[in-house]
Amino acid sequence: MDKQMERQTEELANAYLARQMSRRTFVTRLLALGIAPAAVGAIVAACSSAATTVPSVPPAPSSGGSSPAASLGPQPSPSAADLKGNVRFLIGPWSSDEVAHHQHIAQGFNAIYPNVTFDFRLYQWDTASQEINTSLTEGAHDIYMTTESSYPDYESKTGFSDLTSKITDPSFAGELAKYQYMDRIKSYGPKILGLPISFHVEDAMFVNMDMVQAAGFDEHFIDSYPTFLDCVTKMTKKGQTYGMGIGIQLGGYAEWYQRLRAAGGSYLTPDLKSPNVNLPAVVEVTDQMASLFKLGIAPPLGTYTYDAAPAAFAAGKMAIYSSDLASTTALPASVPFTWKLLPYPPGPVSQVNFNDLSIYMINSKTADQDLAWEVVKWWTNGSSDAYWADNSGTYPARSDAATLGYGTNSAPQLAEALPLFQAHAVGLENFPQWSDVENLAEAEIQNCYAGKETAAQAVANVEKIVKQEVGI
């Protein structure tokens, strides 16, 4: 602990002992200084025993201006003794140490509320929506980390608690302002079901820049499709290196979808009344993707799985591979070449990057809704989000995360690429069947990649899938 931090800690402790700030505020500010949760717990415990042995120090006169507590966090918070119980999480397996990251956040929470215990269970990405739906029906968990893709569906049902009144409560307004992308959540419907924690790019290109340079290009090779194709063609060395690994991301999640959007298509027209898939430009981009396989630029489907791809990339077996940002945590510590995160090249209509939010939501079957709400607030506060996003390989949703430690552990490539991804970001469309359509559509398109059907057939089938699933 350096001198400055020591002095700040002392000041905070004095203020806390002088009852100038709440216990919660005290803990939050200690954490904001970058003190480890375990250490924070020790400091708070020491101060608390001091507070009981040294009774009622009269409040020092305010040094003018707003009190420190006013600027920190939502105000009336339950006292430590009030909150007790066990909170069960169902969360995504972002990184290999995912549970440890959550336990770290839980330690901070327990520094204030020692009587709350936690269980963390991970779902599998492949079966996330199935596991969440089952758990929701059975009341097996209290808090869920969901992806935005299913949000329109959740919005149309009653499985998750409606948090609108809590989130729009004036006392929460100061805090609410720090959640970015709240507008996106609000846009899906009248209810607000949760608070966002990450802004996640689902299909970024992990690019081996050494190979790009050797092929005679720089990072601008993604500025047009022809240069992109030229570059990946040149980087392909038969039996040694594939120029561009696609179809690796789980079920191809959103991989083709962002090409669909780049070609000016979408599953439904903006009024959500008719399909908008079967366009010539969409067939064209689909054919482009399929030809990567035909030309041997992309490894045949099934060669690399989501889990095996990072190692293959690090070993130079793929010059580029397409995956989500969490893949950064799976890359070896030292990759023997320079690499960058880049967006996909433009399509016939625009350059597009698909991203979605991760959101914490509460099971409507959970008995102690207030406890769950306190926990969700803690998990999505600036320092928790910073810590989690930093270690799980994604962008935090909180605007204050950057000042609270984000970027200390994550790959530097992430921060560098953020502006690129934000520039062309698109999300999903607001209809409840979106994620099922997406799953079926990507599988259908992969049949085309595998040479089982033409691009035109696959695109026509996707349009049929949209009609069937949406029921139009």
Partner 1 sequence: MRLSPGQHRQLRRQARLKRELTAWLFLGPMFVFFVVFLVVPVVGTVWWSTQAGGIVGGTTNVGLQNFQRLPDLVGATTAIQNTLIFALLSIPPILIGALAISLVLARIGRGAAAYRFFVYFPVLVPGVVAGLIWLFLTNVDFGLFDNVLRAFGVQPVTWLGSDTALGVLAALDVWRNVGYWAIFFVAAIIGLPEELYQAANLDGASTAKRFWYLTLPLMRRILFFAIVVSTIWGLQVFDTALVLTNGGPGTATTTIIFRVWQYVFGTNDKVGFAAAISLVLIAAILTLTLTQMRLLRSRRGDD
Minimal distance, residue 156 CB to partner 1, in Å: 7
96 binds partner 1 (CB under 8 A): no
- Please give the residues from 143 up to 162 whose contact with partner 1 meets the rule CB under 8 A: 150, 153-154, 156-159
Minimal distance, residue 196 CB to partner 1, in Å: 19
Q: Name the pairing type of β-strands 194-201 and 339-342.
A: unpaired
Nearer Cβ to partner 1, position 110 or 433? 433
Which of 268, 292, 414, 465 lies at the binding interface for partner 1 (CB under 8 A)? 465
Minimal distance, residue 430 CB to partner 1, in Å: 14
Q: DSSP code of 299? A: P
127 binds partner 1 (CB under 8 A): yes
Q: How many residues bind partner 1 (CB under 8 A)?
A: 51
- Please give the residues from 287 up to 316 whose contact with partner 1 meets the rule CB under 8 A: 299-305, 308, 311-312, 315
Which of 250, 292, 325, 375 lies at the binding interface for partner 1 (CB under 8 A)? 250
Nearer Cβ to partner 1, position 162 or 230? 162
Minimal distance, residue 303 CB to partner 1, in Å: 5
447 binds partner 1 (CB under 8 A): yes
The first and second tokens of residue 23, run together, are 């216990």
Which of 129, 276, 351, 380 lies at the binding interface for partner 1 (CB under 8 A)? 129
Is the distance from CB of 430 to CB of 188 less than 8 angstroms?
A: yes
258: Cβ–Cβ under 8 A, 6 or more apart, which residues? 202, 203, 344, 352, 353, 354, 426
Instruction: Please return the burial class of 305, using the count of CB atoms within 10 Å of its CB with bins 0-12, 13-18 and 19+.
Output: exposed
Minimal distance, residue 434 CB to partner 1, in Å: 8
The first and second tokens of residue 469, run together, are 């699933």
- Please give the residues from 425 up to 444 whose contact with partner 1 meets the rule CB under 8 A: 432-433, 435-436, 439-440, 443-444
Instruction: Please return the burial class of 150, using the count of CB atoms within 10 Å of its CB with bins 0-12, 13-18 and 19+.
Output: buried
Integer Cα distance of 318 and 460 in angstroms? 31
Coil, strand or helix: which one is 291?
helix
Minimal distance, residue 137 CB to partner 1, in Å: 5
Integer Cα distance of 74 and 72 in angstroms? 7
Minimal distance, residue 146 CB to partner 1, in Å: 10
CA distances from 168 to 159, 191, 362 (A): 20, 11, 16
Nearer Cβ to partner 1, position 60 or 311? 311
What is the number of other CB atoms lying within 10 angstroms of the CB of residue 203?
24
Tell me how many degrees the CA angle 253-427-412 measures, rounded to the nearest 5: 75
The contact set with partner 1 (CB under 8 A) reads 126-127, 129-130, 133-134, 136-137, 150, 153-154, 156-159, 247, 250-251, 299-305, 308, 311-312, 315, 317, 432-433, 435-436, 439-440, 443-452, 461, 464-465, 468-469
